[in-house]
Every structure is written in structure tokens, then in C-alpha cells.
Amino acid sequence: MKRIILTAFSLFFGLSLIAQLSAEKIQELDNYYLKALKDWNVPGMAIAIVSSDQVYLSKGYGVTDMHTRNQVDENTLFAVASNTKAFTATALAMLVDEGRLSWHDKVQQYLPWFQLYDPWVSSEMTITDLLTHRSGLKTFSGDLIWYGSDYDREEIIRKARYLKPAYGFREQFGYSNVMYLTAGEIIPVITGQSWDDFVRNRILRPLRMDRSVLHVKDLHSLDNIAQPHTYVDQQLRVIPWLDWDNIGPAGSLISSASDMGRWLQWNLNNGVVGNDTLLSARRFNEIQHAYTINSINQSSLQRFPSTHFKAYGLGWSLMDYLGRKIISHNGGYDGMISQTFFIPEENIGFVILTNSLSSVYYPLMYKTLDVLLGNSNPKDWSSEILPLIKKGDSLTKIDEQKALANRNQQSLPSLSLDAYEGTYSCDIYDQVEVLSENGQLYFQMSKTADFQGPMSHWQYNTFKVEFPASPSLPTGFVTFQIDRNGKVSGMEIFIDNPDFDFTELDLKKVSR
């Protein structure tokens, strides 16, 4: 009897929270979103809030492009980037449902040529390992192989063998796009369909995600598309779309608030759409299970005292907030940030899509959670976090000024400029060229069209390098190594940014 009473109470409590999501609460959120858009200087965004069978909000804010000033609506297309990972995990779960795959299958069973840094790790790596970021590689390791490059999917996976581990196998979380690509490329081996076709036919079409596409090239025949924006010297700037086709299973989906709302509704419905069950409840339980535990630092504990755990499942991040299990993921694309959330026990979910490299999604998601979950002691997250972001930007400027002050402007290169010319190579990345044009060095990563630009002397054997086609990247530095014979033997590239570790490239000079 006690169990029945508790179950009934829990059901009533959950329903009562949803019932409290009144027009007044939606209006409160709507007003908050509008104010944050202005405060954070974001061109546009789109947001949807849904339950399994109802759309509470599906709306656009601001403009698709700071130049055209076209209005964003619920059907405007944005890159959702790493939110794609949940689609890849779900696609594999469908194959598990069909008995064509097991989560514990070894990767080499399907891709016998797959190799990582260690033969034993290569042979023991399972489908689950690929999807839970526990390969031993550090976060974003290998992203320079695929980002903006003309390497194809198989070439990227084959180069993963040269990436050096940062942790023991299955020891620690290390976010890996390359491992998700590997997981996605198992699908064509089993089905004969590309990852792209499988996701389109088995997920997007049945869910009526009719505006969603998997390739930037597909945008040419569509309208109502958001344009990416970034900040250059604290000024907004429009940047072009960059094709992520070669990393598709990890991040190439382009969608809208309306379509992503349908995706969240399907997840809240445990795989049921209409009269069809596309995925079993058992698989959803497996996807939403915690596999890799993430630490919570002291600062996070103080700011979010109700959060006691963070972990990664299969294509989803997991945590608790105000006593509920939160399932979420975010995505960072060039000039766009997105966030999805859903709370199964409360039958509610939401998506935030933005068209700038701004952290505005972060306060908005916590404000939305507070309203949805009836937080009795809510914060103005936007007012709290925005000053922290501005302070961080100021500290970055101070660091740049210190570097400039410490620079030895009287120093000269050890060698004549033509001595630095030549081809540099490493196993991870085939070829970097240093050329000389009109008395100035020029840098070019041969497989990545946007990673090229002029070099200017900084100090000693270090040169500044800028990538005009990648304005999101700050000015970087190339330091040439001189051997005991006084000749250039290699180079190190350092560009201070959160996404790409250029120091992974152990580049040696191979020819003049």
C-alpha cells in the first residue's frame, strides 16, 4: 500500500509542476529571453519548450543576420553541432534493438583497421567506449585533423592511431569527436547505408523533422537560415558556414527549434511517434544511464548546490538539479551555440539555438530550469554570469598586454627568412608549408584551407601568425626549432583557444 501511495504522490507532484507552466510562466521566460538577447548582444536565437504531447513555446528572437536583419522564427535553421551525437547514439541503439549490434561489441569487429595508441586498447575498444568519451584521449584531441580539412572520414579515423593518450583507457572523461565519427562509421558496415542516410531515413523523416539537414551544401536550396556570427575585437562579425561533413556523426546536423522540439518530444515519449515505436524503452534506459563520471569543482558546488553528480551517457550529458535527473547536451559550431535539455520525470524539455559565439545559452538554460521546476529561490542567472564573462575578456586583454610588454623587440631571427621556408610534417597532420613572399613569411596548413595567413617576427625564432579566414581564432605563434648544426629542424604552433591544441602537431622539417 505504501508503494502505491508514494507512486501516486510522485505522479501527482510531477503533473502539478507541469500544470504550473502557465501562460504567465511562459511570458516570464519570454520576457527574460528578450532581455538577455539585448544584454548579451546576440543577433538571434530560437527556443522551444515542449512536453511529450504539447508545445508550450516555439519562437524566434532577433535576426538571422546582422546585415539583412531578417527575423528569426521557429523554423529558422541553425547548426546544432554536438547535439548530433545523441542522434548517432540513437541510430546505433536502433541496431541494438534489431539484434544487429551489441553495445559490448569490439570496434575492430566492424572496422578491423581501427587502431589507437596501444594495440591492446585498440582491440578492447567497444561501441560503448566510443560513445562515452573514455578512450584515454584528452578533450578535443585530434580535432585539427578534421576541422575545415579535406581529409575524409576514414582518413580521420585512421590518423587517430597517432594521437597520444592523456589518461588510462576507461580511466577518465575526455570528449572525443573522432571517436563519435568512428561510432557513426560502423553503421554503413552493418546496414549498407551511410550514417547520413540512416539518420535521415530512420530518425529525421519519421519524426517529421522536415527542415533538418546533415550537410551545409543542402542549405543552398533552402531559405530562412541563420548566419553564424563571432566577435572580433568585441565587435560582432558575420562569418561563413563551414562544412562539417567529414565529422558528420559527431556534429553536422542543422535544424530548427520546431524540429528539435519534435526530437525532444519523441525522447520524452520513449521512442513512440504516432502509432509507431521506433526505439524500445529499454534502449532509452541504456542511453540515459551514467557511464563516465565527471568531477564537480568547488566553484560549481557553490553556484549549484543542488547538483550532486555529472556524468556522460550514450550521446547525452547527465546531472541532477533541484532533485531531478537532467538529460542534456550542448553544441558549439563556428559562430553558433546550442543547448538541449529534457527531464523525463517531469515530462518537459527545451532547446536553445543561437547564432553567435556567446555564452548566453548558459544563463538561459538555468533560468528555464528554475521556472520549469518551480525553484523557490531563483537567481537572475544572466545578471550573475554576464559580468563574469566580461571580467574574463578583460583578463585576456591584460594577458595580451603583458605578453606585448615582455616581448624583446630588439631581438632578431637567428637565420635569414629563407632558412625557415619549407615543408613540415608529422603523422597526425601531413603537411604544413612555410613560404616566403616579398620578404615576409607565409604559413599554410595544406589540408585546411582556412588555416593560412601571414607571419611576422615576434622575437628570437618565434613569429606571429594570423588566420584571416578564421576570425574566431586569436593571433598565434610559431616557434622554429634550431638543431645543433644551426639549421631549422621543426616548429611548434601555439594558439591560445579552447578548441584546438596545435601543440599536438609535432612538426619536423622534411624539405626546403
Residue 91, phi-psi category: left (phi > 0), alpha (psi -120 to 50), beta (remainder): alpha
Question: Does the pLDDT at position 506 exceed 60?
Answer: yes
| Domains parsed from the chain with CATH numbers | 43-355 (3.40.710.10), 417-511 (2.40.128.50)
Question: What is the pLDDT at residue 15?
Answer: 44
Question: What is the pLDDT at residue 234?
Answer: 79
Find where cell 586569436 sits. Answer: 474
| Beta-sheet pairing, 254-255 with 78-79 | antiparallel
Identify each DSSP E strand in 161-305 by its residue range. 229-232, 235-238, 254-255, 272-273, 276-277, 292-294
Mean pLDDT of 247-254: 98
pLDDT in tens, 57-84: 999 999 999 999 999 999 999 999 999 9
pLDDT in tens, 350-392: 999 999 999 999 999 999 999 999 998 899 999 999 999 989 8
Question: What is the pLDDT at residue 433?
Answer: 98
Question: What is the pLDDT at residue 67?
Answer: 95
Residue 19 confidence class, pLDDT cut points 50, 70, 90 = very low
Chain mean position to CA 174: 13
Question: What is the pLDDT at residue 395?
Answer: 85
pLDDT in tens, 165-217: 999 999 999 999 999 999 999 999 999 999 999 999 999 999 999 999 999 99
Residue 1 confidence class, pLDDT cut points 50, 70, 90 = very low
The span from the CA of 301 to the CA of 33, in Å, is 26
Question: What is the pLDDT at residue 6?
Answer: 35
CA dihedral 355, 360, 363, 369 (to 10 degrees): -10
Q: In a 3-state reduction of DSSP, which class is residue 37?
A: helix
C-alpha cell at position 472: 574566431
Q: How far is CA 25 from CA 247, 373, 414, 436, in A?
A: 39, 11, 66, 62
User: Which pTM value belongs to this model?
Assistant: 0.94
Question: Does the pLDDT at position 11 exceed 90?
Answer: no
Type of residue at 229: H
pLDDT in tens, 287-343: 999 999 999 999 999 999 999 999 999 999 999 999 999 999 999 999 999 999 999
pLDDT in tens, 153-168: 999 999 999 999 999 9
Q: Is the dihedral of CA 493, 503, 179, 119 positive or negative?
A: positive
DSSP state of 100: S
Question: Does the pLDDT at position 347 exceed 50?
Answer: yes
Mean pLDDT of 344-351: 97
Mean confidence (pLDDT) of the chain: 94
* Phi and psi angles of residue 394, each rounded to the nearest 5 degrees, phi first: -65, -40
Identify each DSSP E strand in 366-486 by its residue range. 422-425, 432-437, 440-445, 452-459, 462-465, 476-482
Residues in the chain: 512
Q: In a 3-state reduction of DSSP, which class is residue 272?
A: strand
CB-based contact 431:130 (threshold 8 Å): no
